[in-house]
Amino acid sequence: MAIDLTDGNTSRHYTIVDHADLDFPDGDWSFGIWTRVDDNTGSQHQYIASNNNYQVTNSFNLTLREASLSSPNAWFLQVQDSNGSPNQHEFVGTSTPGADSVNRLVVVVRTGGGSGACTITLWICDEFGSASNEGSFTDNTFNDIAGGTFYIGQRADGDDDRSYEEHLGGVFKGNFALAQADIEAIAAGQMPWAFGTLDFYLPFFAPDATVFDVIGSHDATQVGSSWAAASAHFPVQSGPADGSGRGVGRGVMRGVG
């Protein structure tokens, strides 16, 4: 199953308590989230993931631009590292999902860093489809992003005009760089832990008060009321319970399978 934040949402979201595992290091990392868009009317950004306010030091914000906004119906990424405004980057993705109700994997990948240049790329991949490079930037001095509490479905400052209104499935982060072929494999059913060690994986099968991290202890806490019933699932999240390939089988170990 999946969760549906529902049209007109102004309060429903999840939070993950601040921890070093939630930081984005000065090196390789990947962040991914499953979503399905069925209504993007309006003139704001719907925040799918946020660890800080927009355009501030140590910020990561991934959004969907609504239909009446400039550059509408597009994915949007904003990041700023621990050095602050000199290392501020943002861009609008190239695809226009609209309200097409397609199951979609959204992934942000950083490659490189440390003493050399890094590149951060936004990828979109339809379920069982080919991954699309939505845009990227390269920076010779971009550092880590040491954000605070992580918000799924809301901007980190709680602005109720910036709530996500769509469906959400699995969310993950790991300190390794997924390649395009890896992203396409995950979109076809392979689990992301097959490509590296994850910091967390939250399956979001249903709108539970606590969504348990099937990797470690970074559970997500539900905020808001009047939650809709679980919506149609993302098929690639179903499968055998051995955790070896397809499906969030490892969730059985934490009581969410």
Q: Is the dihedral angle over the CA atoms 234, 240, 242, 244 positive or is it negative? A: negative
- The tokens describing 231, both together, are 């919506």
CA atoms within 13 A on the CB side of 45: 18
Q: How many domains does the chain have?
A: 1
Q: What is the pLDDT of residue 235?
A: 67
Mean per-residue pLDDT for 191-214? 95
Question: By residue range, what is the domain housing residue 215?
Answer: 3-254
User: For the range 124-129, what are the long-range contacts, defined as Cβ-Cβ under 8 Å and sequence gap of 24 or more?
Assistant: 124/75, 124/93, 124/95, 124/97, 125/183, 125/184, 125/186, 125/187, 126/102, 126/187, 127/102, 127/103, 127/187, 127/188, 127/234, 127/235, 127/236, 128/187, 128/188, 128/236, 129/184, 129/187
Q: Most confidently modeled of 36-40, 134-138, 241-245? A: 134-138
Q: Which of 248, 220, 218 is nearest to 22 (CA)?
A: 218
Q: Is the pLDDT of residue 124 over 70?
A: yes
Instruction: State percent of the chain over pLDDT 90.
Output: 72
Q: For the domain that residue 144 is a member of, what is the CATH number? A: 2.60.120.200
Listed range (23-27, 110-114, 174-178) with the worst mean pLDDT: 110-114
Tens digit of each residue's pLDDT (9 = 90 or more) over 11-53: 999 999 999 999 999 999 999 999 999 888 888 899 999 999 9
Tens digit of each residue's pLDDT (9 = 90 or more) over 89-104: 999 999 888 888 899 9
Whether 125 and 107 have beta carbons less than 8 Å apart is answered as: yes
